[in-house]
Structure 1
């Protein structure tokens, strides 16, 4: 059965974005390569994210959606939208996770 894993970039004070919603600090990381992200992502069988995060990913990755090879669920109040590679849903998160745990090979 799949595990649910929270993968989030956050500052030591618990912030995700600056007060102006900028994410520029994310790109000032130390280390070489992707710091293990590719290895981590090989364990993932599905991605769940909020609509605002999804829209930010589209801006940050203009050359293509990075999660296009696995199921993606975007939590939104307007699930009637359509986009390639994602499913928009307003399904309660507990229900969505319960369903995916039964169907997904890999972590969520």
Structure 2
């Protein structure tokens, strides 16, 4: 069974993008030494990339080449994607997608991008682990790491590590319990 994971950076004040989805604050850390936690190492273990429509549109709007040629890519959206930037599949039903992903063998699934889709997976007990890279920047406004939906959990800390340029890597395992009523 594939493991479904998150790998995301957030500012010290809990934002993944500044106002107007600005990522300039993050790009200045591109050359940061993450050692064994480097993105290029991480992506080698990923078989399937899942992203929401907002993340896809953001990636597709940039002139850089499609970065996910080695992975299967699934975009969660109810709207058709005209002239896709790269090879991808579209799914509209999160519950069916989770069942499909859970049936995969070999290689992990990466929940790429914003916290809305990650939260939808957490609410369904389907995000297994998450690596959050805390970047020492205070943005003051922007897009939150996770939307406040009322979902509660007590993830288990697997590891915490100080990295280059004041960045901290937090790695959590999520566990889910159901409440008896």
TM-score (norm 1): 0.82
Higher strand share: 2
Partners of 1:81 and 1:31 in 2: how far apart?
34
1:7 is matched with 7
1:100 is matched with 101
3-state SS, counterpart of residue 85 of structure 1 = coil
3-state SS, counterpart of residue 75 of structure 2 = strand
> Which structure has the bigger radius of gyration?
2
3-state SS, counterpart of residue 103 of structure 1 = coil
Count of residues in correspondence between the two structures: 105
Partners of 1:13 and 1:88 in 2: how far apart?
33
Runs of 5+ in structure 1 lacking a partner?
none
Equivalent positions of 1:28-43 (< 5 A) are 28-29=28-29, 31-32=32-33, 36-43=38-45
Q: Is the Cα–Cα contact under 8 Å of residues 46 and 106 in structure 1 kept in the other structure?
A: yes
Q: Is the Cα–Cα contact under 8 Å of residues 45 and 104 in structure 1 kept in the other structure?
A: no
In the TM superposition, what is the alpha-carbon distance from 1:16 to its structure 2 partner?
Answer: 1.1
Runs of 5+ in structure 2 lacking a partner?
110-181
2:25 is matched with 25
- What is the CA RMSD across the aligned residues, in angstroms? 2.1
Equivalent positions of 1:82-101 (< 5 A) are 82=82, 83=84, 84-92=86-94, 94-101=95-102
1:75 is matched with 76
3-state SS, counterpart of residue 32 of structure 2 = coil
